[in-house]
């Protein structure tokens, strides 16, 4: 314990006396998390630019346009005569979606021509959100018009009271807020990368000409390494808690599970991050190479975590890499708590995160001790 304490105190002293390392644990998290807070503070995109192609101009067409204009998520930026002009506006990024109202809509003269919605898939989130808002606005207007006239093409004249109701309940993010969704992903992802880089620098200063022999011969290797890495784990957990408090207390979002278990998961994530950084430095004996490895591991972690893009059905490499990354298991733990899952999934994810200091950290310590034996 004395060795661990002395190493921890020495590392705090080194960080405070080294402006770059101090900035990496203080200024950089503040800037990056602050920038994300500013970008996501609106919650979800509003007033998404939409273009109208009205081939009818009748009563129902005007109702559809009014419903779209009244939707808080949409903003009509133009009315054009044909689809080609609407697509041109979307390609110029003047609109993210377009709705085409066919001639004769609301009458039997419309035939089977549907109301068409186009959205810009190059901007997947905003385009899909605009398309969803358009679908809701158009469907509600058509339903109201059909119920009042029973003359809408394609709808049977049935008694609406006989139709079953449908209730959709959104779990975990009932407000459909992108701030809550992305904040839970980006905050830990950014901190994971920063702490990985900081830990590589912390272990790298123990090398002399690409060897740990001078350090390893002193003894107490495991305790010293744990002490040197603990300030970075503490710093990462501190900023993770600060970000979590910003999302919950300041912005008003709510996790159905335990915030304390999420904080415990954050601590385990940064312990795992430190262990992976230790292994990279011990295996490569090069700070530059280890930094590159840390950026590859931590930088790709969010994309392969399965939290933003689906991994099921992906190639073998993607599925294996997904399981290797520590952020994957933290995201599972965190999302389970956001949804209010039981203790079983938490214990499984936490147990997996504990394997990183045991396996990666243990292997790194063995590699460093070999320098002492070979001296």
Mean pLDDT in residue range 45-62: 88
The predicted-structure confidence for 9-22, as pLDDT tens digits, reads as follows 999 999 999 999 99
Distance CA 71, CA 2 (A): 64
Question: Who's near 184: CB < 8 A, 6+ residues apart?
Answer: 247, 334, 335, 338
Half-sphere exposure of 43 (CA within 13 A, CB side): 13
Q: What integer pLDDT is reported at residue 149 of this predicted model?
A: 62
Q: What integer pLDDT is reported at residue 133 of this predicted model?
A: 87
Cα 130 to the center of its chain, rounded Å:
20
Q: pLDDT tier at 333 (50, 70, 90 boundaries)? A: very high
Question: Who's near 338: CB < 8 A, 6+ residues apart?
Answer: 172, 173, 184, 255, 256, 257, 262
Question: Who's near 303: CB < 8 A, 6+ residues apart?
Answer: 309
Q: Are 276 and 297 in contact (CB under 8 A)?
A: yes
What does DSSP say about strands 97-101 and 74-79: parallel, antiparallel, or unpaired?
Answer: unpaired
Angle (CA) 130 134 139, round 5°: 155
Q: pLDDT tier at 196 (50, 70, 90 boundaries)? A: very high
Q: What integer pLDDT is reported at residue 174 of this predicted model?
A: 60
Q: What integer pLDDT is reported at residue 343 of this predicted model?
A: 83
Question: Who's near 199: CB < 8 A, 6+ residues apart?
Answer: 229, 232, 273, 274, 277, 278, 294
Q: What integer pLDDT is reported at residue 219 of this predicted model?
A: 73
Domains of the chain and any CATH numbers: 2-41+177-373 (no CATH), 48-162 (3.40.190)
Mean pLDDT in residue range 80-90: 91
Name the 3-class secondary structure at 212: coil
Write out the H or E segment, with its range, that includes residue 50.
strand 48-54
The CA distances from residue 51 to 26, 94, 98, 243, 294, in Å, are 45, 9, 5, 38, 45
Give the alpha-carbon dihedral of 179, 32, 228, 327, to 10 degrees: 40
Sheet with 116-119: strands ordered across? 74-79, 48-54, 97-101, 116-119
The predicted-structure confidence for 99-138, as pLDDT tens digits, reads as follows 999 888 866 665 567 888 998 877 767 888 888 889 888 8
The predicted-structure confidence for 297-322, as pLDDT tens digits, reads as follows 999 898 888 877 778 777 888 899 99
Distance CA 173, CA 276 (A): 32
Write out the H or E segment, with its range, that includes residue 51.
strand 48-54
Distance CA 281, CA 302 (A): 22
pLDDT of 157 above 60: no
H-helix segments, 285-356: 287-299, 301-304, 316-324, 326-338, 343-356
Q: Are 46 and 93 in contact (CB under 8 A)?
A: no
Q: What integer pLDDT is reported at residue 147 of this predicted model?
A: 64
Specify the range with the lowest mean pLDDT, choosing from 174-178, 255-259, 269-273, 283-287. Answer: 174-178
- φ and ψ of 58, to 5 deg: -85, -170
Distance CA 295, CA 313 (A): 26
pLDDT of 363 above 50: yes
Largest CA distance in the chain: 92
Which residue has tokens 């207007």? 141
Q: What integer pLDDT is reported at residue 373 of this predicted model?
A: 61
56: which 2 tokens?
A: 């009818």
Q: Are 203 and 229 in contact (CB under 8 A)?
A: yes
121: which 2 tokens?
A: 């898939």
Write out the H or E segment, with its range, that includes residue 78.
strand 74-79
Cα 19 to the center of its chain, rounded Å:
30
Query: Phi-psi bin for 106: left (phi > 0), alpha (psi -120 to 50), beta?
Result: left
Q: What is the mean pLDDT of the chain?
A: 86
Q: What integer pLDDT is reported at residue 148 of this predicted model?
A: 65
Q: Are 251 and 31 in contact (CB under 8 A)?
A: no
Q: How many CB atoms lie within 10 A of CB 339?
A: 14
């Amino acid at each position: 314990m004395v060795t661990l304490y002395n190493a921890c105190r020495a590392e705090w002293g080194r960080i405070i006396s080294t402006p770059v390392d101090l900035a990496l644990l203080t200024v950089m998290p503040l800037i990056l998390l602050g920038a994300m807070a500013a970008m996501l503070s609106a919650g979800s995109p509003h007033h998404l630019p939409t273009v109208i192609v009205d081939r009818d101009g009748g009563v129902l067409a005007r109702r559809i346009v009014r419903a779209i204009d009244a939707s808080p998520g949409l903003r009509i930026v133009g009315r054009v005569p044909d689809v080609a002009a609407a697509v041109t506006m979307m390609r110029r990024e003047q609109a993210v979606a377009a709705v085409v109202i066919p001639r004769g809509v609301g009458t039997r003269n419309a035939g089977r021509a549907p109301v068409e919605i186009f959205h810009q898939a190059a901007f997947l989130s905003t385009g899909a959100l605009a398309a969803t808002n358009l679908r809701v606005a158009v469907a509600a207007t058509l339903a109201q018009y059909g119920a009042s006239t029973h003359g809408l093409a394609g709808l049977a004249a049935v008694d609406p009271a006989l139709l079953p109701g449908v209730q959709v309940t959104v779990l975990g993010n009932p407000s459909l807020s992108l701030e809550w969704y992305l904040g839970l992903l980006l905050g830990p992802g950014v901190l994971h990368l920063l702490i990985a880089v900081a830990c590589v620098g912390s272990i790298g200063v123990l090398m002399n000409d690409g060897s740990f022999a001078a350090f390893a011969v002193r003894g107490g290797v495991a305790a010293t390494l744990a002490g040197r890495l603990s300030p970075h784990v503490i710093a990462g957990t501190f900023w993770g808690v600060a970000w979590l408090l910003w999302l919950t207390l300041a912005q008003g979002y709510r996790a159905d599970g335990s915030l304390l278990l999420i904080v415990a998961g954050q601590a385990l994530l940064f312990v795992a991050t430190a262990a992976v950084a230790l292994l990279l430095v011990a295996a490569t004996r090069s700070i530059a190479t280890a930094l590159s490895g840390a950026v590859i591991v931590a930088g790709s972690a969010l994309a392969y975590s399965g939290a933003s893009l689906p991994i099921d059905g992906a190639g073998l490499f993607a599925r294996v890499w997904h399981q290797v990354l520590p952020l994957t298991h933290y995201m599972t733990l965190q999302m389970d708590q956001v949804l209010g899952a039981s203790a079983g999934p938490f214990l499984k994810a936490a147990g997996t995160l504990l394997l990183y200091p045991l396996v990666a950290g243990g292997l790194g310590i063995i590699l460093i001790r070999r320098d002492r034996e070979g001296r």
